[in-house]
Every structure is written in C-alpha cells, then in structure tokens.
Chain A
C-alpha cells in the first residue's frame, strides 16, 4: 500500500506539473503551523524556512535509465535507489538495508555494478543506469534470469534482483571461474533465505554456457 502511494505520487512528479505534491506539502506545512504552540513555532522557524527552501533546491539531472533518456529534477539528498523506486516506479531494485551492507539495491552504472543506496542521483548526470527491469530483451529473459529460475536461485525473492545484477557483472568481470571465486565475488549480496548454493549453480551455468551476458 505504502509503495503504491509513493508510486502514484512519483508518476505525477514531472518538473512541469508537481503542483499536487507541492500543494500537499504546503498544506501539511500550514496545518503544522496552525497546530503548533507559538513558543515551539519560534524555535522551529528556522527549520520551516529550510523546508520551504528545499522546494527550490531541486537540481536538474539527465539519466539514461534502461535505455531511455530521462530529464529529471531531483533534490541532492535523494539516492539513486529512492529515485528509482519512489519517483520512477522502478520497484524491481530493492531496499534491504540502505547502508551498503546487503546488495539488494545493486544496479549497473555505465556497466559497472554499484550499490544504489549509497549514491546520490544528482552525481550521476549523463550516466547510463541499468536496473533489473532493463535486463531482458523484450519478452526474452536474460540468460542469468533464466538460470536463476532453472536452478531455483531464490526463495522469498527479495534479494534476487540485486543478486542477478551482481551475477551478470560477476561473469562480465571474469570473476566466475570457480565456485570459490563466485562465492567471494558475490559476497556483496546477502541472501536471508540462504539460496547461495543454487545462486552459485545458476552463475556457473551461465558462465560455462558461454552465452553472451
């Protein structure tokens, strides 16, 4: 439910028509003012200034996300992960920890795997982002996605988008030459369900199959 709300809001959030959002923001701000006793109000005045100012602090940024160029307007403190999930409706990329400790948020930036939770979106101007949604070619799943299905490389599936993005990079980097190497180079992706043996099998199959990844 929470997620849906955020998405709807996100969809309407284009630079030219974020009026609804601004209205909501302002009206809750006004409600807050009305309900606040004057002493607290004075103390909080500086803080409110800041809130109002934020609206003017959005920064334009152009990103190519899953082969589509997007001109966006983003606050500097928004991470790539939050931009994807909450403003662009790309909820395939998961938030596990938000602190770089789990890998659920793994995406590719200019072909390199990174943790989107530890990246400010505005610092990626002009870069190409690939998320799990951009891996398949039309209806044709990526070989790594097929291999994860075949080998049952997941249980609850929450870590899976990050695992797959990381696994594709692992093979491309040439770090999938043995089980031990795969385990080491996939260590940045934690699986709470413990699907590791099957994840390793899926990666080995793709690596040994010699398909283009």
Chain B
C-alpha cells in the first residue's frame, strides 16, 4: 500500500474542506471497501479524511414522518435499530443478507452506497478495465462474466453494483442528503447511482467535493408485505448473483401499490416504475407476478457466463412477490 497522510474531521464543513484542499484525497469511514482496494493499489489516495468522528451516527425520525439514517450509523446498528426492524423490515433483512457480522459492525450506511463493484477485472491491475483505467477496454465482456450485468450495461462496462442495502433503499424510495462546497442537496435514491454509459469510471452522481450526511426513509415502510431474496453461490457471506426487494401495499388480496427492486443485475439497483404501476388494483396472483417479472427483464442481455441470470431473476421476482403477498412462506435463517 502506498503511504498516505490522514486527518480527522471534526465537522462536515471541515471534512469537505479537507477533501477538496488536499490532493488525491478520499473520505474513509468503516474502511471495509477502501482498505481492500488500497491494499491492491486499485485505489491510491495520498490523503485520507477520517470522518468517523462526525456527529452523523444517529437514527431518528425525520420531518416526513419517516426515519433519517446518519451516514455514519453502521450497517449493524441500522439493521437492528428498533424502528428499522419494526417499520422497514425489508431494509433490515437486506442489510443482514450482506457481508458478515464483523463487516456489518464496521461498514457504514454512507460507505455502503459508495462501495465499488466486485468485478474481478476491476480488482486485477494486470487486465484492462474501463472503470479502473478509462479507455483501456473491458475485460469482462469477452471474459469470465458470471457475476456481471444483464440490464442497463454498455459496451464500455458490464459491472454490477454489489450492495444489498441499496436494493432495499431503492424499493423504499429513499433520499440521499449530501453536503458539498456549495451547500446541501438531496438526491432521490434512483438518481444516486448511474448506468455506466461511456463513463464507467463514475459509479454515481456524488460530486468529488460532496459528502453523504444521511439517508431519509419516507413514512411508508411496507412492513406488512415485504420480502428480500438473495440468490448466491453459498448460503451466507457471498455477494448476490441476483437479489430482489419486494414491497406491497395491499387491501385484502388486491395490490394498491407495488415496489420491486433488483440487485446483482445492473450498475445500479434496478427499478421499473412503469411496470410496477401495472400491478396497481390487480389481484396478488402468481400469474400477475409472472407478468411483471417478464416486464422487468424485457431487453435483458446475457453474456457467455451470465445468461442464466435472466431466468433466475424472473423466478426470484415471482418468489419475492409471492412471499410479500403471503402466498408463500419466507425461508429465513
């Protein structure tokens, strides 16, 4: 690892000031993604701004009647928070489906949003990768692409965003509060991460001078009808091949509102609100769930090793919606 200097930020303005005034500077929170990437020289910051002392750890009610998650609350604190468990169980389940108990104790909510892809070539300095080195080419398109994207990818990059937490946040229509040199702004969750297009080096729309301060959850947490399904190569401690967050608002067996977000299939958590809208006022049946599954995967494109994800995603959608509507039991550890 290259040597670097480190400073501790005492307040948000100080953190923004440090990261903009120092050359090649990065924030560091839990460190679980950054250390990983620094050890292999994929990320080579020369200065780190330690933001773990900032007063952004609380989880509290917000003006909208929802909940505000401090950017420095850990994934574990968030998943086990009373209000999150009670009102936003889909978020709790998604977080607990990710990483390990140790990592969730370290990982922060802000850092989870910012974690980078697990594409093998991104991690391997010996191979071309447009995300790591713009213009060098994409090794995955014709390489081993089992974990890669089937939706929204580009010729330049077929990487996926690996987070579980973000899939639930996308389904919940969360908002990301950030502060930069020019003040505060709020980014709707679906606009936070981006598709690769011809700039795969950019994972999201956060600007270099901006820090995430909190994440707002709206009032409706879909606590009665939800499911998070994660399909992976082993039962625990593995990233998703496909994951689905499903949340329904029901009246009897009629759906009033449906939310469906997919993980492991695209450069960002995948939602298709126009397809969700088709479930409104429909009965909760497997037939209707199959229809929305087809609509979600319309236009999906697989590669040599990941075409299986298309059918897998459809089945996971039907299962998640069936569990959310209580047509099927949840299988939980």
Contacts and interface: CB of A to CB of B under 8 A. Distances in A.
B101 A188 contact: yes
Interface string B26-68: 0010111001101100000000101010000000000000000
A166 B31 CA distance: 19
A180 B3 CA distance: 43
A169 B4 CA distance: 33
A59 B100 CA distance: 30
Contact of A120 (B35, B105, B333): B35
A183 B333 contact: yes
A170 B101 contact: yes
Majority-rule SS of A interface residues? mixed
Contact of B5 (A57, A120, A184, A189): A57
B103 interface: yes
Interface string B233-251: 0011100000000000000
A173 B235 CA distance: 21
A113 interface: yes
B277 interface: no
Contacts of A113: 101-102, 105
Contact of A188 (B3, B5, B50, B102): B102
A122 B6 contact: yes
Nearest to A116: B102
A50 interface: yes
A99 B53 CA distance: 24
A54 B52 CA distance: 24
Interface in B214-244: 235-237
Given A123-B50, A184-B333, A106 B1 contact: no
Nearest to A101: B237
A164 interface: no
A123 B52 contact: yes
A152 interface: no
A185 B102 CA distance: 9
Contacts of B333: 180-181, 183-184
Contacts of B1: 77
A77 B106 contact: no
Interface of A: 50, 53-54, 57, 59, 75-77, 79, 98-100, 103, 106, 112-115, 117-120, 122-123, 166, 169-170, 173, 175, 180-181, 183-190
A-B interface, 5 closest residue pairs, ranked by CB to CB distance from nearest: A188-B100, A187-B236, A184-B333, A76-B6, A187-B237
10 contacts: A77-B2, A79-B35, A99-B36, A113-B102, A115-B102, A118-B31, A122-B6, A187-B100, A187-B236, A188-B100
